[in-house]
Structure 1
Amino acid sequence: MRARATGRTAVGSAVAAAILAVATALAPVLLPGAATAATGADAFFTYSGSKPLSDYPPGSVLKTRTIPYSLAGIPTPLAVRQIVFRSTDQRGRAVAAVTSVIKPLGGSTAKVISYQSFYDSLNPEDGPSRAIAGGTNPGGLAAHFETAMMASFLLQGFALVIPDTEGPTADFAAGPEYGRVTLDSLRAAFRATGTGIAPGARAGLIGYSGGAIATNWASVLAPSYAPGINRRLVGAAEGGVLVRPSANLPYVDGSLVWAGVAPMAIVGVSRAFGIDLQPYLSDYGKQVHTRMQKASITQVLGAYPGLTWKKLVKPAYADPASIPIFVSTVNKLNLGVRPNPTVPMFIGQGTRGELEGTSGSKPGLGAGDGVMIAGDVRTLARKYCAAGVRVVHREYALSHFTSVALWLPQATTWLTARFGTTPAPTNCSTIKAGNPLTPLKAV
């Protein structure tokens, strides 16, 4: 038994190293401005059954397949069970979503990690499940870096569940939809056969940046939307956290690197909620809107230096709060007015956004990591603490990208420990006061 376990570990280590090596070799196509490669549509990801999706309860397994984990079409020894399942989009409609379960190296396991990717794209073909199946879209290839980031869990015998959190239409930044897809992904992974997940398995959530959107919303929605899943969660670890989009918009306004993410998020949220932006956009804003329709974050970062809200809209809408539908929508995405999770939380956040060209001195906002606001994250953590949630909150004097190097080992170590019997630690008493998370008021 010991020899076989050692062999599996060696194979797993080799596979993880291969994933990292190939992902590094593919790095040039992940740079900002990279063009999107054409890929043929995979019929597996589309539901074509005769029964209406709305007739299935959320998390129902619609179809499955087992494939090798592929790196740009190159198969590896890792086995993946892909699942198409029923979920719910931002407007409450039944949709077919997809997740990938990387099967545990040591056979059956009762420990599951749900990893929420930061693929951040308006193109459904950039979802991690497509990349894992051999897709070569540059916007989706970050999934391979992320699998390497999670290799420590695979080497310990965990199953790794990776949902395409943005749903079938890539509704970028639509937090509640991310959360529901994540929870339904776990429902489906626990129900499907051939995953290597044992009955009664427990799960932990983890994600950074766009993955933190899904992780936080899943933890918040689980008690009401998926109580059965909530009872099986051991904790949630996240970093680079989006709390209050109405504040992030002015925070990145004019940034050298992150300004282009604002229109990308606006397009994603308007798509999710079914909002027509055309009446509010300037001629330039309409051009940007058109270019964004299938953009990934790899094409947007650094591509719109100094872009401001005022350049995107007509003069009458220079203040976003003058648009009623904007006000009502961003307030629905404010985690500060949503219920609290019931599971332990690890929350990491950078504070030196100046390193990525974002000012940290805007009134009422303060420091951030370049795209997420540290003061908002502090207040959210304190809110959870006040509700009795055991929270570990960490800040890093680094930017959004550079904070990952410190966040990742802390988050994975913390989450691994949640599967044991040691009570979750907390540093609630030392978290500094942050920004008020009050909803945006219309003007």
Structure 2
Amino acid sequence: MRIRATALAGAALLALATGSAVAQPIYPAPDPDSFYAAPADLADHKPGDVLATRTMPSLSEFPDIDVTMIKFRSTGSEGNPIAATTTVLSPRNRKFDAPLLSLQQIINGLGAQCAVSRALYTTDPNLIMREAPAWNVLLQRGWSIALPDHLGPGSAYGAAKLGGQITLDGIRAAQRVPELKVEYSPIGMTGYSGGGMATAWAAALAQSYAPELRIAGAAMGGVPMNLVTMLETMGYGAHPAFGLAMAAGIGLEREYPDRFPLSEQLNAHGLAIRDKLANSCTNDILAAGAGQGAVDVAKTTIMSTDPTARAVVEENSLELFGGVPNMPVFEWHSPIDGLVPVDAILATDRRYCGSGVKLWTAEEPVPDHLTAAVLGIPAALTWLDARFRGETPPVNCWTW
């Protein structure tokens, strides 16, 4: 089961202890594959520029599908140039300018092996994406599917804005690879939970970050819209998913080492857990943090209201971001979600509607985060198919 709780990053707003720093941020082990490495002239490239491509081995789950990996220039959370990657699945008999869907997969992890481009080829049963064969339905329609590694080269789990920027640059890059035949394709985006967060940020950032992209629509579900609210909802006691919360804090520290110095605030027990998580994926992250809470890993039990650290969490909270999508949006969620506060989703939807976004929102009548994902996907894909065909997007803002 792939449990997603990236937005529990708010739980990493631990007390800012006084005194000198005793620990530096911990980063993932370098990927042994040199393809992922940033070139020396990275800063000379613009966001979305293709840095390298390579043809990947065929996958048994996807008959008659070409697999192309693209390395491209993107932008880190604090504006620095980074090298990011996306993997494009293309029908071998693809037609020019058939739809391109950027699918932001759920990625729970802090290590290089957790990335989608790795998971596609893994034999580790804990990392295999069991839903992947269902993508054949879309590929058989003639669509191409781009799967970005939206946590970036530092595996910055919890850095939501970063995921949006990488998603947009991955689309740019795919359109600049001639053999993919998607230069003028209608573009769609989709994702759920953490993948929905990357999708939602891409939609909201598109107008300012990638205004030249003409995106037909974005479908996102179960989106953690406000990381601060997640903190307040979760509380600070023991929680079975605290490992994911801790991982999100580590990811934010990787992107904001000066503004979010998590490692400085951890006690010996917290540092031991941090070290276990540094290169882990879902199952190991959950195991390392199970039954723990912020009070167990911090130097002090007083929670922080430090404005600098809090600002990092706010910067990655879409409800608090002023931009709105410049494309139609399909949003779905459970009305009683045990992981994601629904009030933040509804507040964001209302703001979008008030700003003129062509929004269709749907509630799946189940009190479960993951079940809502499964139930909502068919309607989301049907909605995207209609956007690709150029149909007028439905709007249901007036029903609230």
TM-score normalized by the length of structure 1: 0.78
Change (3 A) 1:193 1:407: same
Deviations 1:297-344 (A, max 9, x none): 2323466444322222122x52232x3332121111121221111111
The match for 2:211 is 227
In structure 2, which of residues 84, 103, 107 is the aligned counterpart of residue 115 of structure 1? Answer: 103
Q: Structure 1 residues 430, 288: closer, same or farther in 2, change over 3 A?
A: farther
The sequence identity of aligned pairs, in percent, is 31
With CA pairs under 8 Å and 6+ residues apart, which has the higher RCO, 1 or 2? 2
Aligned to 1:214: 198
Q: Structure 1's 116 and 220: CA in aligned 2 closer, same or farther, altered over 3 A?
A: same
- In 1, the alpha carbon distance for the partners of 2:31 and 2:123 equals 10
Q: Residue 140 and residue 84 in structure 1: after superposition, are their counterparts in 2 closer, same or farther (change >3 A)?
A: farther
Match of 1:41 in 2: 32
Which of 140, 146, 152 is 1:161 aligned to?
146
2-structure distance, mates of 1:207, 1:255: 29
After superposing the two structures, state which structure 1 stretch, 273-282 or 300-309, moved more.
Answer: 300-309
Corresponding position of 1:441? none
TM-superposed deviation, 1:243: 0.8
Alpha-carbon contact 1:68-1:76 (below 8 Å) kept: no
Residue 268 of structure 1 deviates from its aligned partner by 0.7
2:296 corresponds to: 311
The corresponding residue for 1:272 is 255
Indicate conservation of the 8 Å contact 1:258/1:370, yes or no. Answer: no
- CA distance in structure 2 between the aligned counterparts of 1:255 and 1:78, rounded to whole angstroms: 45
Whichever residue aligns with residue 190 of structure 2, its letter is I
For residues 179-221 of structure 1, give each alpha carbon's deviation from its aligned partner in whole angstroms, at most 9, with x where no partner exists: 1111110111000122132x31120000011111110110111
Residue of structure 2 equivalent to 1:420: 389
Contact 1:258 1:371 (C-alpha < 8 Å) held by counterparts: no
The letter of the residue matching 1:82 is M
**Residue 236 (structure 2) pairs with residue 251 (structure 1):** no
Q: CA deviation at 1:258?
A: 2.6
Q: Is the 8 A contact 1:68 1:78 kept in 2?
A: no
Q: 1:32-82, CA deviations, whole angstroms, 9 ceiling, x for partnerless residues?
A: 9xxxxx99832222234x5x20101111111111123436xx995421111
1:27-176 matches, cutoff 5 A: 41-48=32-39, 50=40, 52-70=41-59, 77-110=64-97, 111-132=99-120, 134-137=121-124, 140-142=127-129, 145-176=130-161
Return the alpha-carbon distance in structure 2 between the equivalents of residues 40 and 376 of structure 1: 36
Q: Which amino acid aligns with 1:241?
A: V
Q: Does the 8 Å CA contact 1:85/1:97 hold for their aligned counterparts?
A: yes
1:131-170 CA-partner distances (Å, limit 9, x unpaired): 33x234556422xx34334332211101111111011111
The one-letter code matched in structure 1 to 2:303 is: D
SS at match of 1:201: coil
Picking from 375, 379, 384, the partner of 2:343 is 375
1:185/1:269 CA distance change after superposition, 3 Å = same
Q: Give the aligned residue type for 1:243.
A: M
Q: Which residue number in structure 2 is paired with residue 351 of structure 1? A: 335
Please tell me the root mean square deviation across aligned C-alpha atoms, in Å. 2.5
Is the contact between residue 55 and residue 68 of structure 2 (CA under 8 Å) also seen in structure 1?
A: yes
Aligned residues: 370
What are the ranges of 5 or more consecutive residues in structure 1 without an aligned counterpart? 1-26, 33-37, 353-368, 432-443
- 1:114–1:67: structure 2 CA closer, same or farther, 3 Å change rule? same
